[in-house]
Amino acid sequence: MQKIFELYKTCDSKLIYLEPLFTTEDIAYQMPEEYRIYKSAIEKWDHLHLQLAKLSKLFEMFKQIQIGFDAYLQKRKLNSPRLHFLSNNELLEMLSKGRDPKQVEPYLSKLFASISKPEFNNRGEIIAIFASNNERLELRRPVNVNLAKRHVDKWLLELEKEMKLTIHSLIKELLQKFEFEFVKLEDLIESGAVDQVILAHFKLVFTHKAENAIIHGNLKASFFEL
């Protein structure tokens, strides 16, 4: 592209130099062959300018398309805020591959920090997700991506919703089993709880005990337990 631009500038300077020379009848008369070539060059130069004008219009058309794409992508991002984690080019690529959910996998780690990859069943439903440490979280209900193949953001929202419901349900089960009591890490791991649920349980127990200690005025006595 740079070479084309440099060649254009060279031709332009040559024509500027030759134009006043060939407007002199004596030179044109004495150099008929060169004058003929000059006239042909001028015609081609004028034709090139017309093509450049068309190219400029074409550029404006592409620019208008890009503005439309940006507005479209912004609308999709407003419907699904996590899409802001992707650049416009990445989002366009992901949306273009939306008919095949497995092609969307490479983008999931950018949209969800806790997801490395999803697990599909034979029906193409997402039944579990894997974290970066390869920990597996089985969803309570499969996410049917086939119902919204053309709208990737819709099944991504459904996946996010199901993840939260699953985690909430697992935390509730852990509280029902161990209540608001500190439990050995080994026992929690043996119970099959995933890291996020274990951490959430610990925080809930700590908050519960600290709150009770403050209410009953025995925070100092509870220091070692906390």
Q: How confident is the model at residue 9 (pLDDT cuts 50, 70, 90)?
A: confident
Give the CATH number of domain 82-215: 3.20.180.20
- The percent of residues in the chain predicted with pLDDT above 90, rounded, is 16
Q: Which residue has the tokens 């780690």?
A: 109
What is the reported pLDDT for 23?
72
* Rounded average pLDDT over 150-160: 85
Q: Give pLDDT, residue 138.
A: 93
The tens digit of pLDDT for each residue in 21-58 reads 767 667 767 778 887 887 888 888 888 878 777 778 88
| Res 222: pLDDT | 60
pLDDT at residue 85 in the model:
92
98-105 CB contacts, 8 Å cutoff, 24+ apart: 98/149, 98/150, 98/151, 98/152, 99/149, 99/150, 101/126, 101/145, 101/149, 101/152, 101/155, 104/152
- Contact by Cβ (8 Å): 82, 112: yes
Q: CA 131, CA 115: separation in Å to the nearest integer?
A: 5
Q: What is the predicted pLDDT for the residue at 221? A: 61
Query: Tens digit of pLDDT for each residue in 198-223?
Result: 888 889 988 888 888 788 777 666 65
Please indicate, yes or no, whether the overall pTM of this predicted structure exceeds 0.75.
no
pLDDT in tens, 61-109: 888 988 888 898 898 888 888 999 999 889 888 888 877 888 888 888 8
What is the arithmetic mean of pLDDT over 145-156?
A: 79
The domain locations on the chain are: 2-76, 82-215
pLDDT tops 70 at residue 224: no
